[in-house]
Amino acid sequence: MSNRWFRTLRNQILVVFVIAMAIVMSFVAVMTYNMVASMLTNNAEKQIQQTVTQASGRVDALYHQLDMITNQVATNAYVQDLLLEEVNGQTTLFHQRQSLMQIVDSFQVYSNGIDAFELYLSNERRLFPLNEASLSERIDDRWIRKAEEEKGRLVWIGKDRDKPGYFLALRQVNLMNKWFSKGGYLLVRIKPTYFEVHDSMMESEWMIVVDEQYESVASNYPGHEQKLLSQDEATFTMHQQDYIKVYHESVETGWRTYMFTPVQMITREVSALRLALILSAGLGFFVFMLFSYLLATYVTKPLIRLTNTMRQGKDGELKTIPVRTTTVEMNELNQSYNQMVETINHLIEAVYAKEIVRHRSELKALQAQIHPHFLYNTLEALYWALEEKDEEELAEYVITLSELFRYTISDQKKDDWVSLREELDHVERYLYVMQIRFGDRISWHIDAPNEFNQCMIPKLTIQPLVENAILHGIGNRSEGGVVQVRIEPSDVVNRLSIFISDNGIGMDQKTINDVFQQAYSSQKGMGMTNVNKRLQLYYKEIHHRA
């Protein structure tokens, strides 16, 4: 069924169009998806990188603010004078140290991230706050040496070991009135929230700021930061979710700002794009299939109309078709078909009709040939009967012979076809007359079921063959013989097979071949030739058995 469905031109056009459209749409959809997805992903990554850069710049700004405030404290005139007096050997008095506390504390108002300032002398003894302590007890010596190497620039220490969660930064205080020589140290303690990152951070999007020692300075990750920072790959999976790691390293501080973004956030727009492409492709495919079907129907409808018109020609009804299509090719095809129909109709009227007349004339001539041939044979039989029979028997034979003549010479125009029963009755009358000549040397048997009695056959079809069986078969036997006529259904539907046989002397294969050759190609063997030609005129195909 599917093969037959595909064999129609309309369905072939539809399938080809749909396949071509599916290929084109698939290619366009894949290319569009890949290009737009790549563009969206790149834009998302650029946006994340820009966010990290901005966050890193914000951290740098806070660090710069811390550096500026500590520098203001270190360069304050009162602080400079006290440290210079200490370097020159003068001990700072208690009230001077109290005044210093007020001045230093006043700088804390400039930043809510600074928790406290600590001022140390060049010998690392604490000058402020008032309690006595050593700088080396507060921080490692390596940070002191680092501050000396930086010549007054701020040095980030990291987490305060005495107060967890807070951060420390150190800078050397240089004496401006003594050739910027070392006058002491300024230690600042920073609150944990100073570099805090939160603001517009989305759920499951983490940001971590680490210093040069790779220690966390700020983070919004609720867990252990090192678990995230230990991921070496740019894309990794954690908590059954894929993340992209992006970072920016500050040129000013050397700190790194990391951002960990779920891949799902980046591909969210890509998923929407994929859904939009699928819906668009489905809608486009449906619309194209609909228009392809309409186009295929529009193209093939005139062909179907022409085919149906041509199919009617099987029943002998050749009609023209109206030229009313909108395509030039179909109009030309219809015009060509109409011209062909007109030509065929003309041939049927002018040529085929003449052939029918010629065939019918030939049929009448053949039937006319049977009459004298039949009369000659029956008269010859009557001649032999006159020498042997008495007058009473002879009268009966004459009546039978008159019936034979009446059947034979009746109006051929009205009686071209007779029933099988009529033809068999004529054969029996002929056999009865032939018995006048041959006497007991001839007998016959007719086997014809009554259900076939009304079947119509050409007139004088069986009798000439029975005549041949008597004259050329049984007539050559001294002891006589039997003629048998048998009617039975044929292998061909709605046909009958008629068998005429005798038990005469028989024929060898060469004689059989000669008989058939004479029947199909010569005028010899009048009965066989005549019947054969008549059957050829009545039927398109002749089936015979030897």
pLDDT digits (tens, 9 = 90+) for 474-485: 777 777 788 899
Q: What is the pLDDT of residue 213?
A: 87
> What pLDDT score does 83 carry?
84
As for how many domains the chain has, the answer is 2
Residue keyed to tokens 């492409």: 277
| 371 and 298 assigned to the same domain | no
Four-CA torsion 30, 31, 32, 35, nearest 10 degrees: 120
The strand pairing partners of 175, in sequence order, are 181
Kindly give the pairing relationship between strand 256-262 and strand 241-249.
antiparallel
Domain stop point among 297, 317, 337: 317
Task: Let me know whether 416 and 471 are in one domain.
Answer: yes
Structure confidence by residue, pLDDT tens digits, 451-460: 988 998 888 8
pLDDT of residue 411: 55
Residues 250 and 151 in one domain: yes
- C-alpha distances in Å from residue 64, one per residue of 71, 207, 534: 10, 20, 126
Residue 244 carries which DSSP code?
E
Report pLDDT for 220: 85
Distance CA 222, CA 212 (A): 22
Distance of CA 427 to the CA centre of its chain: 72
Per-residue pLDDT tens digits for 181-201: 888 899 999 998 888 876 545
- 3-class DSSP state for residue 168? strand
Decide: helix, strand or coil at residue 303. helix
**Tokens coding 108:** 């804390």
Residue 325 lies in a domain: no
Does the bond joining 129 to the residue before it have cis omega, within 30 degrees of 0?
yes
Do 310 and 371 reside in the same domain of the chain? no
Whether the pLDDT of residue 1 is over 50: the answer is: no
Q: What per-residue confidence (pLDDT) applies to 385?
A: 57
The verdict on residue 286 lying in a domain is yes
What confidence tier does 487 reach under pLDDT thresholds 50, 70, 90?
very high
Say if residues 141 and 122 touch (Cβ distance below 8 Å). Answer: no
With a cut of 80, say whether residue 221 has pLDDT above it: yes
- If one compares 466 and 339, the residue with the highest pLDDT of the two is 466
Cα distances from 512 to residues 515, 516, 518, 529, in angstroms, run 5, 6, 10, 14
What does the mean pLDDT of the chain come to?
A: 77
Please report the sign of the dihedral spanned by the C-alpha atoms of residue 516, residue 519, residue 524, residue 530.
positive
Answer yes or no: is pLDDT of 546 > 50: no
pLDDT of 541 above 70: no
* One domain, residues 376 and 241: no
Q: Do 233 and 365 fall within a single domain?
A: no
Q: Which three-class secondary structure state does DSSP give residue 410?
A: coil
Please indicate, yes or no, whether residues 244 and 369 belong to a single structural domain of this protein. Answer: no
Helices (H), 439-492: 463-472
**pLDDT band, residue 100 (cuts 50/70/90):** confident
Q: Model confidence at 542, in pLDDT bands (50, 70, 90)?
A: low
> 289 and 355 share a domain?
no
Residues 236 and 378 in one domain: no
Count CB neighbours of 296 within 10 A. 21
pLDDT at 143 over 70: yes
pLDDT confidence of residue 544: 47
**Cβ atoms of residues 150 and 171 within 8 Å:** yes
Claim to verify: residue 363 and residue 296 sit in the same structural domain: no
Give 309-358 pLDDT, tens digit per residue: 777 666 666 777 776 666 666 677 777 777 777 777 777 676 655 665 56
* Model pLDDT, residue 169: 93
Last residue of a domain, which of 298, 317, 336? 317
| pLDDT at site 293 | 75
Q: Where is average pLDDT lowest: 10-19, 125-134, 370-379, 489-498? A: 370-379
Which whole number is the average pLDDT over 395-403? 71
Amino acid at 532: N
**DSSP-derived secondary structure letter, 125:** B
- CA 234 vs CA 57, 205, 376: distances in Å: 22, 15, 120
Comparing 229 with 145, the larger pLDDT belongs to 145
In 3D, which of 55, 58, 60 has the Cα closest to residue 261?
55
User: Are 216 and 209 a contacting pair, CB within 8 Å?
Assistant: yes
Question: Is the pLDDT assigned to residue 7 strictly greater than 80?
Answer: no
Q: 518 pLDDT band (50/70/90 cuts)?
A: low
pLDDT score for 286: 78
Question: For residue 545, what pLDDT is reported?
Answer: 44
- 377 has a pLDDT exceeding 90: no
411-431 mean pLDDT: 79
430 band by pLDDT with thresholds 50, 70 and 90: confident
CA distance linking residue 229 with residue 248, whole number of Å? 13
Is 168 inside a domain boundary?
A: yes
State residue 157's pLDDT score. Answer: 92
Q: Are 97 and 91 in contact (CB under 8 A)?
A: no
Q: Which residue has the higher pLDDT, 253 or 531?
A: 253
The answer to whether 341 and 322 are in contact (CB under 8 A) is no
- Cα separation of 304 and 308, whole Å? 6
Min mean pLDDT across 215-224, 249-258, 400-409, 437-446 is at 400-409
CATH code for the domain of 440: 3.30.565.10
Specify the higher pLDDT residue, 475 or 162: 162
Domain span at 363: 349-538
Q: Which one-letter amino acid corresponds to residue 457? A: I
Percent of the chain exceeding pLDDT 90 equals 6
Q: Name the nearest CA neighbour of 48 among 269, 258, 225, 236.
A: 258
Q: Could you tell me the two tokens for 258?
A: 């990391």
Residues 304 and 354 in one domain: no
Greater model confidence, 91 or 121: 121
Euclidean distance between the first and the last CA atom of the chain, given in angstroms as a whole number: 45
Residue type, 113: G
Domain assignment present for 429: yes
Quote the distance between the C-alpha of residue 48 and its chain's center.
41
Pair 196, 261 in one domain: yes
Residue type, 397: Y
Least confidently predicted of 65-79, 286-300, 437-451, 517-531: 517-531
Higher pLDDT, 326 or 24: 24
Strands 167-175 and 181-190: antiparallel
Mean pLDDT of 49-63: 88
**Burial profile 154-191: b = 16 or more Cβ within 10 angstroms, e = fewer:** bbbbbbbeeeeebbbbbbbbbbeeeeeebbbbbbbbbb
Is residue 322 assigned to a domain? no
CA distances (Å), 425 to each of 190, 433, 449, 456, in order? 139, 13, 14, 14
> What pLDDT is stored for residue 19 in this prediction?
81
Q: Which long-range contacts (CB under 8 A, 24 or more apart) does 39-47 make?
A: 40/266, 40/269, 40/270, 40/273, 41/266, 41/267, 41/270, 44/265, 44/266, 44/269, 45/244, 45/246, 45/266
pLDDT above 70 covers what percent of the chain?
77
- Is residue 546 included in any domain, yes or no? no
What's CA 239's distance to the chain center, in Å?
41
> Is 127 a member of any domain?
yes
| pLDDT computed for residue 3 by the predictor | 61
53 in any annotated domain: yes
**Higher-scoring residue by pLDDT: 137, 310:** 137
Nearest to 496 by CA among 540, 445, 446, 453: 453
Q: What is the CATH number of the domain that holds 180?
A: 3.30.450.20
Short-list 200, 198, 171, 140, CA closest to 209: 198
The stretch 371-390 carries a mean pLDDT of 58
CA of 415: how far to CAs of 210, 411, 428, in Å?
Answer: 123, 6, 19
| Tokens 């994340």 sit on residue | 48
Residue 491 DSSP symbol: S
Mean pLDDT of 241-264: 86
Q: Considering only CA atoms, which of 232, 248, 237 is closest in space to residue 48? A: 248
